[in-house]
Structure 1
Amino acid sequence: MSSNNSIEKTLSSELSISISIVKEVIQLFNEGATVPFIARYRKELTGGMSDEALRDFHSRWHYLIELEKRRDAISGLLSDLPNVPKDVFKALSLANTKSELEDIYAPYKKTRKTKADAAIELGLWEFALGLWSEGSKQAQSLYAKVSPAFKQPVSFPAAMEGARDIILERLSQNTGLIKQAKLWLFKEGELVSGVIRGKKELGEKYQDYFEYTESLKKIPPHRLLALFRGKKEAILKLNIISGQKEAPYLLHNSSLMMPVGFPESKERSPSKEKINWLNQAWQEKILPKIETDILAELKEKAEESAIQVFQSNLKDLLMAAPAGAKRTLALDPGFRNGVKWAAVDENGRYLESGVVYPHPPQNRSQDAKEQLARAIKRLNIDWVVIGNGTASRETEVLAKQLIKEANLSCQCVIVSEAGASVYSASKEAIQEFPELDVTIRGAVSIARRFQDPLAELVKIDPQAIGVGQYQNDVKANRLSQALGDVVEDCVNAVGVDVNLASVSLLTYVSGLTERLAQNLIEMREQLGGFTSRAQIKKVKGIGDKAFEQCAGFLRIRGGKEPLDASSVHPESYSIVQEMAAKLRLEVANLIGNQGALSQLKLVTQSNDALAYTYQDILSELAKPGRDPRPEFHYAQFDDSVSEVADLQEGMRLEGVVTNVAAFGAFVDIGVHQDGLVHISQLADRFVKDPRDEVRVGEVIKVEVLEVDVKRKRIALKRV
């Protein structure tokens, strides 16, 4: 119980929320509520915490639980050992991180026998204590006094060496000393990288880091990850330097300079001899240890930053503007193997497909235009969308020509095809289109992604979409969890049409698992479509709790109950009915009725107990089923530019942001190679975070600053 109280107080203090809210949120999580459900439908209990805040709460809560479990485990292990000083247990109770706990436990967790262990086994402990407290001037007399108690004969020089081993090891195990040393080194230290002998040619891409030095406290996360990747690939060696060989003056403190297990010193300041011991321990043990620890901490922080970048970019991509219910023909361009095409209807259902060969070596452009024009007319296509891979600009020229020549009313646009090839070979794609060629499945995915990016991209492993920064250098399980959280939040923020959604999309709905999603689809097929949310309760495996969690995020268009098409939760239908009754209206006549809703707004302002719920209901009734994503907009690429060689300095072009990193943004300007707008070129003022200026999927105008055709590097400036 005391452990729980401690966790609650810590969360309240760190997150600046009341203890009562902390208790409510923990109870909701313990009852199995999801973050999207709590964020949307339990605002009164959380004080209106956002999904991001709840994710942070959940993560920190679990960390603190694990911290307490480990603290208890270590305490139990130490209790079973003889002669563990009381101050060790005190330090254990005050530790705030797992790494601090492990540092405290390290002296007692023996994985291998050290020189100090061997010296203690010989009986040199008392000699080491005396040498530390009385100094080396008394060494001979101390030796004569305690040597009879040695387990076996040990010469004076050997005894001195053994005592030294004990003192240095126990100094290096003092957690207070280590903590202060880390703080000092992080503040004053520099990270130095150099190329490993014989690896210059192999590691040419790391040439900027062959002789590189930067302050530890200033080095940015993306640069750290590049350095750690070079180290992992055995191209670079990394070291931390401090500018001095001896222990910093900061550590010359008698209360800090205490070997673990030694009696507390009564000296006001340490002797020169003890400082000498410290300097030896610093060089041989403390500095190597804290260097390793700091590098590990820097890597962890850099990985966390990379994950945050990936999460932000993925969210922007998933929440990109949908083109909507448009009949679409997608072209997956290529040269030798032709241009694959596939058409889908307004709801993304597959219609037809084929392959044309307008480009070299076949050069059957006229035949291709005729085939595609017939399909566009026959299927009443609204949009022709082209994947932005190989031959995309050549295919765009062809599409524009045929639209003009055949006098078609459809429009043409190039879109990102990232991840389409991954989907086309996936288990879900095979189940969905077992009769289609893998390349045609890719074209279908491109068409659907244009209509609704979120609904299509959830079928693809987020790591395969390619909007991250060093995603291959971070822990796979942590990245997977973080990206899964983003997808879940996005899916539930938009809501899902239960009669159109795929298994992949439904699996991310609050309260649903893959099995429940499959059961829901099976019942949907049996019913010929759901007509009310109440029917969802009859799906196998969906009990009261699962229904509570998922119902508000599942939409039913044109059903018996008009509120089923909204984000109003069924548990609040009675509130809406009371609202309608007050105005003597039917619920259906209340939806979208601005005049009636204005009257209700005045009535409900006085009810503080359900203030959040009332506000959300009124907002939803004003614009039922409103999609939180922006309006659809696309870039117009310059027809005179299709390859890197076509670019000239000073050109002004329109492009689409494809990725945002800590150092800038990558932009597709239609030349098969993204250009980089460095953070310094994003605005005419200082920019701390590129995401403050641009987001993935945003259409921006840029100026070409520099072009390196050989290395395919394009430097851009936002205008």
Structure 2
Amino acid sequence: MEKHMVQSVNRSLPAYQERQISAVLQLLEDGNTVPFIARYRKERTGSLDEVAIREIEDEATRLTKLEKRKAEVLKAITEQGKLTPTLTKQLQQAEVIQAVEDLYLPYKQKRRTKATIAEEAGLLPFANWLLKFPKSDLNTEAARFLNPEKDITTIEDVFAGAHEILAEQIGKVATFRDWIRQYTTKQGQLVAKVKRGGEEKDEQGVYEMYYSFTQAVKQIPSYRILAINRGEKAGILSVTIDIDPASIIQYGHFRLIGHKTGPAVPLIEAAYEDAYKRFIGPAIERDLRHELTDQADEHAITVFGENLFHLLMQAPMKGQVVMGFDPAYRTGCKLAIMDQNGKFMTKMVIYPHKPASQAKRAAAPEQLKKLIEDYHVQTIAIGNGTASRESEQFVADVIATIDRPVYYVIVNESGASVYSASQVARDEFPDFNTEERSAVSIGRRLQDPLTELIKIDPKSVGVGQYQHDVPEKELDARLDRVVETVVNQVGVNVNTASPELLTHISGLTKSTARNIVGYRNEHGSYLDRAALKSVPRLGPKAYEQSVGFLRILNGDEVLDNTDIHPESYGVARQVLAVVNEDETAVGSTKLAARLDQLPIQQTAEQLHVGEATLKDIIDGLSRPGRDVRDTMPAPLLRQDVLTMADLKPGMMLQGTVRNVVDFGAFVDIGVKQDGLVHISQLTDHFISDPASVVAIGDIVTVWVQSVDEDRHRIQLSMVEPK
């Protein structure tokens, strides 16, 4: 890895040591994945986590692009014979692409403008003469540049042409643009107004708060930028960045004129003001709008990524028979029952709601009760779509008649229809209709959210903010990273995992994932990790990168059910020998207690292994088959129903966080409409980011502030009333 790149990254990211940056970049260059580096190369990186490794990777990518652009610009200016030592130094010291482009602007291939026409008419020397602030008569000098063949027939034509040349030249000065850009960023106001006829287009008043809106550029939050952009795109709003030009004009006078005097001063002043009005100001407004949008996009993508992470990391409901309940009116409610391992058992359609006939509605309670009893259903997962709350009431009434405890959970079914119509679903349940597949998906989402949600496009799971307004390519890339992080942190059972799940394992591709499943189907369950070496096209590198994240339960090798990498099995057995135990003790309380007493530094030196790796080995031996999601909040089980009419101000309830956005969090409290906890009500002190307090899946205590049944709005607070 080039030392220059390592040092450049270190200047940008001083929190990391050069050796850490060098190690990360070298490991990436050698074809290692981020999850593998974070988990199994801690000694080399100084135990950097995935976030840090990706930050280093992204900064190296940015700097590589920057250096490439610098080289292109240097080459282009050199070919024009205009490269100077000063310009070379300025380009080499530029830290962002924008600075490079500002420096390159005067040397770009010109399109035909009024200034170029004036130059072709021979007026460039006169314009440059004016910049020397001569004391002599300007008209006399201007007369020398009359050129009837180029339509320069009067003194006024000469001055007009010189003005165009000066304005364009001044407009391309990098230092002017940089200062004005910074000043506008600090002092500018983003102004949105309703366009003529915009109110008619905004039938529901979605953008009403922006009809006459002003906020400082440096203060406006990301979600408002995206909302305003959408209103502008819809033809409802007009948007500008307003700035008092007085200071900008004063700055130009100081830089261009200073204490100089003479008859050229008013001409230079006019040229500068025109340059700002026509060239610099509009360009900077475009740049700033673009920059604000980029920042808002990045923030929205980050929020989506964090929400997706917490959604996928929700605790699975293990060891329970679950019924998936896909509600509907006319077409009936589709039911599907899965055993403790998620295996489909049976399905049925019942008709508990109008417009079904009286006979069908009368039969529905007993049909549901019989299914619950016959298959020993413990929990019912009810989708939150059409007819959800009516179905919730129906289910609550039925389970109240059963002697043993049966619970229900409202499950966010966003994306279930996408899954049920996909090729993946058709391959899994070829004889089911789409609604029946949805019922299976809803039930499995409760049993194992990660395994089920991984089958659909992350953008379809309903936890984003302005997701349709941000660049799809960047959003997809970020969400892919999140999915990769979660899947590898959790690990997968290689004998039950779907190809969709395996695809996200470190080092695997769609092809190798399919081959793992195909080999499993042909030869039976894998008995040890080493058997994966026989999978077609799963080479040594892919095996090395993936195997530590693939678990084998009840196989021939007990260490295969840990996150200890096979490359460390020898050390793991040495660790067992140090405490006088063998592999039969793995996972026992006795072994865990003994391992807990081991002196880490001394044992690491004795076994010639890094301390970080030793700690991970001890953790794996103490807790084989561990699932990091088990520490997350469990689903909130319910047996009775609330309606909006039941809610009263001050009422205390428990709810599940369904979405986290810039201005607060939406909480499911068991009524038809999720309630909003505004950011100001998340805690009793100021916070700028709701994600610092809550995450999707959290079980929270809330107090009802207000209920608006007509507008279907519930205001909640997480701050206990006094």
Q: 2:466 aligns with which of 470, 492, 503?
A: 470
Q: Secondary structure at the match of 1:477?
A: helix
The equivalences for 1:150-299 within 5 A come to: 154-203=153-202, 204-244=205-245, 247-254=248-255, 257=256, 274-299=268-293
> Is the CA contact 1:126–1:146 (under 8 Å) kept in the aligned structure 2?
no
CA deviations over 1:150-182 (Å, ceiling 9, x no partner): 978553221211111111111111111101111
Q: Distance in 2 between matches of 1:43 and 1:272?
A: 66
Find 2:425's aligned residue among 426, 429, 437.
429
Which residue matches 1:581?
577
Q: Provide the secondary structure at the position in 1 that maps to 2:218.
A: coil
Return the alpha-carbon distance in structure 1 between the equivalents of residues 249 and 308 of structure 2: 45
Secondary structure of the 2:132 match is helix
1:96 aligned counterpart, secondary structure: coil
CA contact (8 A) 2:133 2:260 kept: no
- Written as runs of structure 1 = structure 2, the 5 A alignment for 1:275-424 is 275-362=269-356, 363=358, 364-424=360-420
Equivalents in 2 of 1:685, 1:163: separation in Å?
60
CA contact (8 A) 1:71 1:93 kept: yes
1:518-537 to structure 2, matched below 5 A, reads: 518-537=514-533
Identity in percent: 39
Partner of 1:569: 565
Q: Secondary structure at the match of 2:334?
A: strand
Q: Which moved more, 1:417-426 or 1:360-369?
A: 360-369
Deviation at 1:413, TM superposition (A): 2.3
Q: Equivalent residue of 1:654, what SS? A: strand
What TM-score, normalized by structure 1, do the two folds share? 0.93
SS in structure 1 of the partner of residue 376 of structure 2: coil
Match in the other structure for 2:101: 102
**CA positional deviation for 1:88:** 3.4
Shift of 1:86: 4.8
Q: CA deviation at 1:148?
A: 7.7
- 1:355-394 residue CA offsets vs partner (Å, 9 max, x unmatched): 0001112253442222223222332323222112222233
Q: Tell me: CA distance 1:694–1:574, structure 2 relative to 1, closer, same or farther (3 Å).
A: same
Q: Name which of structure 1's ranges 353-362 and 406-415 shifts more when overlaid on structure 2.
A: 406-415
CA drift at 1:272: 6.3
Deviations along 1:303-356, one digit per CA (max 9) or x if unpaired, are 111111111111111101111132211111122221100011222121111100
Distance in 1 between residues matched to 2:131 and 2:83, nearest whole Å:
19
Q: Which residue of 2 aligns with 1:511?
A: 507
Q: Deviations over 1:264-286 (max 9, x none)?
A: x9979996654443223222221
TM-superposed deviation, 1:407: 2.7
Give the direction of change, closer, same or farther, for the CA distance of 1:631–1:274 in structure 2 (3 Å limit).
Answer: closer
Contact kept? 1:326, 1:382, Cα under 8 Å: yes
Counterpart in the other structure of 2:551: 555
- Compared CA separation, residues 436 and 171, structure 1 to 2 (3 A): same
Distance 1:590 1:456, change over 3 A: closer
Q: Distance in 1 between matches of 2:197 and 2:514?
A: 56
- Whole-Å Cα distance in 1 between the matches of residues 408 and 446 of structure 2? 12
**1:600 is matched with which residue?**
598
Moved more, 118-127 or 625-634: 625-634
Name the amino acid aligned to 1:309: V
TM-score (norm 2): 0.93
What's the secondary structure of 2:215's corresponding residue?
A: strand
**SS class of match (2:320):** coil
Amino acid in structure 2 at the alignment position of 1:672: K
- The answer to whether residue 48 in structure 2 is matched with residue 49 in structure 1 is yes
Give the superposed CA RMSD: 2.5
Report if aligned partners of 2:407, 2:638 keep a CA contact under 8 Å in 1.
Answer: no
Contact 2:326–2:383 under 8 Å retained in 1: yes
1:141 to 1:5, Cα distance in 2 relative to 1, 3 A: farther
Matched to 1:75, the amino acid is L
Determine the structure 1 residue equivalent to 2:488: 492
Q: In structure 2, do the counterparts of structure 1 residues 60 and 77 end up closer, same or farther at CA, with 3 Å as the change threshold?
A: same
Moved more, 418-427 or 111-120: 111-120
Q: Which stretch shifts more, 391-400 or 294-303? A: 391-400
Cα distance between partner residues in 2 of 1:194 and 1:148: 48
Amino acid of the structure 2 residue aligned with 1:9: Q
Deviation track 1:457-483 (CA, whole Å, cap 9, x = no partner) reads 111111111111111111000000001
How far the C-alpha of 1:646 sits from its partner, in A, is 4.8
For the residues of structure 2 that align with 1:99 and 1:140, how far apart are their CA atoms?
40
Q: Is the 8 A contact 1:246 1:279 kept in 2?
A: no
Are the structure 2 counterparts of residues 249 and 292 from structure 1 closer, same or farther at C-alpha, using a change threshold of 3 Å?
Answer: same
Change (3 A) 1:427 1:154: farther
* Structure 1 CA distance for aligned equivalents of residues 150 and 463 of structure 2: 65
Which residue of structure 1 lines up, in the alignment, with residue 12 of structure 2? 14
Alignment of 1:131-146 (within 5 A): 131-135=130-134, 138-145=137-144
Residues 1:531 and 1:638: Cα distance change in structure 2 (over 3 Å): closer
Alpha-carbon distance in structure 2 between the residues aligned to 1:124 and 1:609: 76
User: Match of 2:677, SS?
Assistant: strand
Query: Which consecutive unaligned segments of at least 5 residues does structure 1 have?
Result: 259-264
> Does the CA contact (< 8 Å) of 1:131 and 1:142 recur in 2?
no
**One-letter amino acid of the structure 2 residue matched with residue 185 of structure 1:** T
Cα displacement (A) at 1:64: 0.9
